[in-house]
């Protein structure tokens, strides 16, 4: 549902205000830190802000999401201001580029003869149109180096699979995991172990792709689960001094409690594990 005209004008006014603020900060009498930045120096902040947006979404913190989206918008304006000063492009070019791309890649919406598509057809159509627009030497071109390693591994293996470089059955990538695990065990030094560990992780990502599981999402969920459970057991008095067996018993107890849909199991009241 489109925003009312007044709301749209208000939004555009605030964006114009942000642009003016950035121009002031980057101006001759502006902020010494902001003036010193370039594309490369603020790129890490851009990535960080994108992750903080994703974190607010994962926590369903809508109030914080508005703030984090503002921080991410600042990064767009910052990059555009640097480009404007160098004569490369400006914020108008950034907006025009994405507007044209969105219209071009949604012909089922914006073309005169609209053809309804299902979600999977929209995705496939997007990829087809994207491929036609890009001049690439390899199917792997365009997979960003700055992506998290798990995400990039999934994208690389997915791209390769488009050419038929893929196992037809699940047994193939599963066997590869066992092979890589054996090679990691047989590694003789740190360099070999690091290489084989990378191969093992890549093999796991490839297996998850065949299961239609996003590795980044799966690992994030596992991280959250581990954090919840560990925070529960570390509340036990004298936790650090307990034996590994006692800690493991506490872990199993908390694990069982969480699986019973207890979102916040009671902390242990003594150093002894629950039965």
Task: Label each residue of 133-171 as H, E or C.
Answer: HCCCCCCCCCCCCCCCHHHHHHHHHHHHHHCCCCCCCCH
Whether residue 221 is contained in a domain is answered as no
Residue 83 sits in the same domain as residue 156: no
Residue 80 sits in the same domain as residue 156: no
pLDDT for residue 156 is more than 70: yes
The CATH number assigned to the domain holding 161 equals: 1.10.287.1080
pLDDT of 135 reads 75
- Parent domain of 18: 5-89
- For residue 155, report the phi and psi dihedrals to the nearest 5 degrees: -70, -40
Question: Do residues 161 and 153 make contact, with C-beta atoms less than 8 angstroms apart?
Answer: no
CA dihedral 69, 74, 79, 80 (to 10 degrees): 100
Residue 84 sits in the same domain as residue 157: no
Lowest mean pLDDT among 218-222, 232-236, 264-268: 264-268
Instruction: Look up residue 4 and give its DSSP letter.
Output: P
pLDDT tens-digit profile of 83-101? 999 999 999 999 999 999 9
pLDDT of 84 reads 97
Question: Do residues 233 and 239 make contact, with C-beta atoms less than 8 angstroms apart?
Answer: yes
Q: Is the dihedral of CA 125, 127, 133, 136 positive or negative?
A: negative
Question: Do residues 257 and 265 make contact, with C-beta atoms less than 8 angstroms apart?
Answer: yes
Angle at 147 between CA 146 and CA 153, to 5 degrees: 125
Structural domain count of the chain? 2
The pTM of the whole model exceeds 0.75: no
Q: How far apart are CA 79 and CA 152, in angstroms?
A: 24
Whether residue 28 is contained in a domain is answered as yes
Whether residue 250 is contained in a domain is answered as no
Which of 89, 112, 136 is a domain's end point? Answer: 89
pLDDT tens-digit profile of 9-46? 999 999 999 999 999 999 999 999 999 999 999 999 99
Averaged pLDDT score across all residues of the chain? 89
pLDDT for residue 275 is more than 50: no
Neighbours of 31 (CB within 10 A): 12
């Amino acid at each position: 549902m489109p925003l009312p005209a007044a709301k749209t004008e208000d939004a555009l006014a605030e964006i114009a205000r942000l642009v003016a603020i950035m121009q002031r900060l980057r101006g001759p009498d502006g902020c010494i830190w902001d003036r010193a930045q370039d594309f490369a120096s603020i790129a890490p902040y851009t990535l960080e802000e994108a992750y903080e947006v994703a974190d607010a979404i994962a926590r369903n913190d809508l109030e914080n999401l508005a703030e984090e989206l503002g921080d991410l918008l600042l990064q767009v304006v910052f990059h555009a201001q640097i480009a404007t000063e160098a004569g490369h492009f400006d914020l108008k070019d950034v907006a025009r580029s994405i507007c044209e791309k969105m219209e071009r890649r949604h012909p089922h919406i914006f073309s005169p003869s609209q053809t309804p598509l299902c979600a999977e057809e929209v995705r496939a159509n997007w990829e087809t149109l994207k491929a036609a627009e890009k001049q690439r030497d390899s199917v792997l071109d365009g997979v960003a180096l700055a992506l998290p390693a798990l995400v990039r591994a999934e994208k690389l293996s997915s791209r390769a699979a488009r050419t038929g470089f893929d196992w037809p059955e699940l047994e193939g990538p599963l066997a590869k995991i066992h092979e890589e695990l054996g090679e990691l065990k047989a590694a003789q030094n740190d360099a070999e172990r690091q290489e084989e560990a990378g191969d093992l992780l890549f093999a796991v990502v490839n297996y998850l792709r065949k299961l239609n599981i996003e590795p980044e999402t799966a690992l994030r969920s596992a991280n959250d689960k581990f954090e919840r459970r560990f925070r529960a057991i570390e509340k036990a008095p004298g936790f650090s001094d307990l034996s590994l067996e006692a800690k493991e018993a506490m872990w199993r107890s908390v694990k069982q409690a969480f699986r019973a849909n207890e979102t916040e199991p009671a902390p242990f009241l003594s150093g002894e594990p629950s039965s």
